[in-house]
């Protein structure tokens, strides 16, 4: 079967047009201007969360609360960092 065929000669399957199916998937709230604004705001919030986590990690470390300094706040930092990376990749 040639790669450009839109109907399978064996079974008769009608392959959807790639441009039509891609255009249909770019509709709805996920592709709206409000979603774009939400991604931008979320990116800044995740960046501020990373900074705040590092700050709290230092505060807890120097105050002697080693459990929070070495366990809780690093986990919070990496979660925020992961969200920041996702938000930045989605915004291409």
Work out the average pLDDT over 44-60: 97
Work out the average pLDDT over 15-39: 75
Which of 83, 62, 4 lies closest to 75, judged by CA? 83
C-alpha of 86 from chain center = 3
Which of 18, 21, 17, 15 lies closest to 1, judged by CA? 15
Dihedral sign, Cα of residue 50, residue 51, residue 56, residue 61: positive
Instruction: Reduce the DSSP state of residue 29 to 3 states and report it.
Output: helix
Q: What tens digit of pLDDT does each residue of 1-17 get?
A: 777 777 887 887 887 77
């Amino acid at each position: 079967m040639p790669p450009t065929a839109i109907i399978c000669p064996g079974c008769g399957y009608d392959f959807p047009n790639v441009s039509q199916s891609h255009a249909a998937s770019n509709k709805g709230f996920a592709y709206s201007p409000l979603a774009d604004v939400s991604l931008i705001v979320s990116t800044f919030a995740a960046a501020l969360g990373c900074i705040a986590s590092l700050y709290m990690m230092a505060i807890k470390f120097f105050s002697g609360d080693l459990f929070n300094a070495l366990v809780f706040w690093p986990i919070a930092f990496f979660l925020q960092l992961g969200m920041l990376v996702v938000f930045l990749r989605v915004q291409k």
